[in-house]
A = this chain, B = another copy of it.
Amino acid sequence: MASLGELERAVMDLLWAGHEAATANTLRDRLAQTSVGRDGAAGHEGKELAVTTVLTVLSRLEKKGLVERERGTRPHRYQAVSSREDHTAELMHEVLGSAPDREAVLARFIGSVSEGEAETLRKLLGHL
């Protein structure tokens, strides 16, 4: 229940962007600004998505527990349940969790981390 489709991810990116801007968004705002992931991704350049499409995706994301909406206000407000960072970290734990030998995995993982990041990790582990 963890993986997202391309459009679902694009929508999450929107919400996360809003998260950073500390605004719970109505769809329209964001859609207007960004044309929902239709910019970078190959092949979809000129395409304009129907609003209902985005709504559908949001509902699915809600069902998956990634998005939360306030139904009180009329244009509902949608927001990501957790920040992108939290979500990603959680995903990493999910991946790790499925392994019988967690420490071995961690060893490999650390082995291929950049020096800068290794430094960060050392710091983080320092004060625990």
Contact = CB atoms under 8 A, between A and B. Distances in A.
A110 B84 CA distance: 16
Contacts of A89: 105-109, 111-112
Interface residues of A, number: 37
User: In terms of DSSP, what is the predominant structure of the interface of chain A?
Assistant: helix
Most chain-B CB neighbours within 10 Å: which of A107, A110, A117, A121? A121
Number of copies: 2
Interface in A90-124: 90-93, 95-96, 98-112, 115, 117-118, 120-122, 124
A106 to B, nearest CB: 6
Given A85-B105, A92-B105, A118-B125, 5 more contacts: A85-B101, A85-B104, A89-B106, A92-B92, A110-B128
